[in-house]
Structure 1
């Protein structure tokens, strides 16, 4: 395999690893900037994530084989020289970067801020509502929504489930409204609220 093809393999490995984690990287960026509307655009990645990870592993395996296989000697008995991008060190750097990107959903919660503890008030004003949310694709998405909501004054607790596509929010109705909660989810995380009747207790 030529040097150019080896470089393409390494580039493909990084690209595949990055793409497989887009569903979790973009919502995290939404918490730090104004890219919230992009978050739900990458929810399509989650169903094909296992295939992207498999392709990443396959591409890296081929690159490792090409790098570590014995090199042919030319007519003078000299081995073909490899540039910096074909070196074993560079391959290991690419492999480590690919692994780090692929594993992002598992350590994404460590980048999220701890929720602010709300002051205790009378339970009389607290209501509980179920927000139906579209666009969540993994457990890291739950953390994005929990963090966005729990940082707001009047929110006592949030329990989000990407499997059920919902967040159960307990909040003080004198400090924050259900409409405001929905707006927070859509503007700050980029996920969409589905117009179902919300259960308010």
Structure 2
């Protein structure tokens, strides 16, 4: 539940192609908030000087490093390609490190009390137990047809690849079960924006 007079923590989740980044771009431009993208955090914690860097290099070897000494994404992907055990170990290194990094940002923002909201975007929000961290979870929904078309237009994915990705993600029923608020982003952004404005407007009253 959202509470006045404090920094509210909101988790944003939804399937691929639902438009989470578009929705959060609108929110960041219109509200006093901090937005954290888990993918950005995952990239940051792989940099030299962070614990995940040392663990990944120790596990996969220096062959994953680029000329600058930083982890090269393509080389790392190649090192774990088609190896489920290596992928599992890498995820076991990255996921806890990402969560710790995000929780530290959240705690810092709570102490500073400078923003009304901290929005955390993560594909595995529900799986990683963010319902215990966030005040509310918000689900960005879009119809399957809308998501398919977006993925074809923006990424050039085939129907077969899209179906495979959809099959590995949580279904609509599970998202709705765990989230307090649903944003329908099947159409134009203005429709989603109206839902967000009403939700936050009701909170402010």
TM-score range, shorter chain: under 0.3
Which structure has more relative contact order (CA 8 Å, sep 6+)? It is 2
